[in-house]
């Protein structure tokens, strides 16, 4: 499993994996931290911009999805690369 492939993964993806894969990922807590961070950011984007490709937008369509930027989070002493979703006003 490549690290770059996991940058966009979220908790739903994790739940759909085999038990063996889940245990393997759990052994590496940094990967779990990435998945949880992505889940939180995706939920915030959904709340502001609505579901992807849906015509019904919350907040009178005030927010839109505009891809992502490279970013990072700190997990303990470790700096972990993630993709940060862009949403604009």
Print pLDDT tens along the chain (89 aa). Answer: 554 555 567 778 888 889 998 888 777 788 888 888 989 988 888 888 888 888 888 877 788 888 888 999 998 888 888 888 886 66
Count of domains for the chain: 1
Predicted local distance difference test score (pLDDT) of residue 85: 86
The residue segments making up the domain with residue 21 are 1-88
Question: Minimal CA–CA distance to 48: which of 6, 85, 1?
Answer: 85
Give whole-number Cα distances, 84 to 20, 56, 61, 67, in Å.
28, 24, 21, 9
In 3-state terms, the chain is what percent helix, strand and coil (to 5)? 45, 25, 25
Are 64 and 88 spatial neighbours (Cβ–Cβ below 8 Å)? yes
């Amino acid at each position: 499993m490549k690290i770059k492939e996991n940058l966009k993964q979220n908790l739903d993806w994790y739940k759909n994996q085999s038990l063996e894969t889940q245990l393997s990922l759990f052994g590496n807590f940094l990967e779990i931290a990435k998945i949880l961070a992505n889940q939180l950011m995706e939920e915030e984007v959904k709340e502001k911009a609505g579901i992807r490709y849906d015509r019904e937008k919350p907040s009178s369509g005030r927010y839109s999805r505009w891809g992502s930027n490279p970013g990072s989070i700190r997990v303990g002493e470790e700096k972990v690369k993630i993709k940060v979703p862009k949403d604009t006003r």
